Structure 1
Amino acid sequence: MSWTFFHKLGSPKWFYEISGKLMPWIAAFSLLALVVGSVWGLVFAPQDYQQGNSFRIIYIHVPAAILAQSCYMMLAVAGVVGLVWRMKLADVALQCAAPIGAWMTFVALITGSIWGKPTWGTYWEWDARLTSMLILLFLYFGIIALRMAISNRDTAAKATSVMAIVGVINIPIIKYSVDWWNTLHQPATFTITEKPAMPPEMWLPLLVMVLAFYGLFTLNLFMRMRLEILKREHKTRWVRDALENNS
């Protein structure tokens, strides 16, 4: 069953159809989670005893930072699938997810700088976590630029896949930088093995916001992939039929 599903992922037609059915549900979930998480975190969550209300930026910063790293890991997986199994959708996913990941990294850096001023006394410091996140942004930019610079689609797919796979070494550096080096940045907000340091009324809305960001990412990715599939498959019969049915 798992191999059947895996091979279905190689079909642009199947993905286009199933993603169209899932998108309304993902949109509804994302909107609900975003409203609940933002109101809960920005209005009802208690103030931090040290940072006051300035800590509330974590409800944007932390989900953006988590999603930026997760998105790059997805690029690396898509790169491996594209190189090994030569699936068209893997290259489509890599191409469409890279700009979203770049934006999330940018948001994480900007909100982190805003948070850093009242907390650390500076907008920027060349510590390990901040520097490795900046490198992540440059990796996203590199993948996007490499894709645009190579006119041949197959060559561009191979080149960006290799870059995504090589660049994934930066992800554990980001994650463990606060443990390996003496940094200004605080330890991870969420860990699998340890209880959160914040009280539930502070970390629960943060968890809801993380889920909302993942939902919005999935929705945005599906929209981009569907447009790219229509662009690539425009000469096929099923695309013409789909466009006629929607017209």
Structure 2
Amino acid sequence: MTTVVALTALLFGAFIAPPDVVQGNAQRLMYLHVPAAWTAYLGFLIVLLASLGVLFTRFRRSSDVARAAAEVGLALTALTLATGSLWGGLTWGTWWAWDARVLSTVAMGLVYTIYLAARSLADEERGAPGVAVLGVIGFAIVPVVHFSVLWWRTLHQPPTILAPQLNPPMDATMLFTLGAAVLAFTMLALMAIALRTRGLAEGSVDVNQHSALHRGSTSERALQ
């Protein structure tokens, strides 16, 4: 299913959807840039929910889910910035602009880089609640990024899909292609988070087993 959706989005995005009247084929980057940004938001929402799980349930797997989601979200943030830079270079004539949306997106990436650094340095048990608090507070940057185009003057256009009009001002084929791309990115991101969470859980089991064996061998030598 994921493969079919991804191939459909790729086919329509590259060949079938019409080029933009003003931007031409450069607009096709939208089918990477927008889904990457939205799916990064989703990853960070999962960090928020999993961090709440750490704080209120102390379920061990929640910490792994939060870390996996932060890693995937951070990778998607980097993809958002890269595709945005390329798109800006082709349409605005500049690869970088001191723009509210750009700067807030960079800030979002820094927030979750700090989160992952804290997660790697903190003690697995005693440090987990503190890192989870950071995961909850850090989500505050996400609405700042999303609404930056409304709160400040920016080169980015206001919302299109969620515009006040009943009918989004977008060609139907473009809208279908964008929807397919968002769905494909979402499915791939959730799959990546699930696989990474499983890997982290298996790694924790191996570490715990190794520690138990080490303690057992140390106890045996002490008794000899």
TM-score (structure 2 length as normaliser): 0.87
What residue is the counterpart of 1:85 in the other structure?
Answer: 57
Q: SS at the partner of 2:125?
A: helix
CA offsets 1:102-132 (integer angstroms, 9 cap, x no match): 1000000010010011222211111111111
State the distance in 1 between where 2:83 and 2:127 align. Answer: 33
Residues 7-86 of structure 1 mapped to structure 2, 5 A cutoff: 29-86=1-58
> What letter matches 2:72 in structure 1?
I
Specify which of 142, 145, 149 is matched with residue 174 of structure 1.
145
> Contact (CA 8 Å) 2:112, 2:138: kept in 1 or not?
no
What residue is the counterpart of 1:144 in the other structure?
Answer: 116
Runs of 4+ in 1 over 6 A off after TM superposition: none
1:190: how far off?
A: 2.3
Higher Cα radius of gyration = 2
Provide structure 1 residue ranges, at least 5 long, that are not aligned to the other structure. 1-28, 237-247
Residues 211-222 of structure 1 mapped to structure 2, 5 A cutoff: 211-222=183-194
State the distance in 2 between where 1:89 and 1:140 align. Answer: 19
TM-score (structure 1 length as normaliser): 0.79
> Contact (CA 8 Å) 1:30, 1:213: kept in 2 or not?
no
CA RMSD of aligned residues (A): 1.6
1:201: how far off?
A: 0.7
CA offsets 1:14-33 (integer angstroms, 9 cap, x no match): xxxxxxxxxxxxxxx22111
Provide structure 2 residue ranges, at least 5 long, that are not aligned to the other structure. 210-224
What residue is the counterpart of 1:127 in the other structure?
Answer: 99
1:192: how far off?
A: 7.5
CA offsets 1:27-51 (integer angstroms, 9 cap, x no match): xx22111100111111011110000
What residue is the counterpart of 1:154 in the other structure?
Answer: 125
What residue is the counterpart of 1:231 in the other structure?
Answer: 203
> What letter matches 1:229 in structure 2?
A
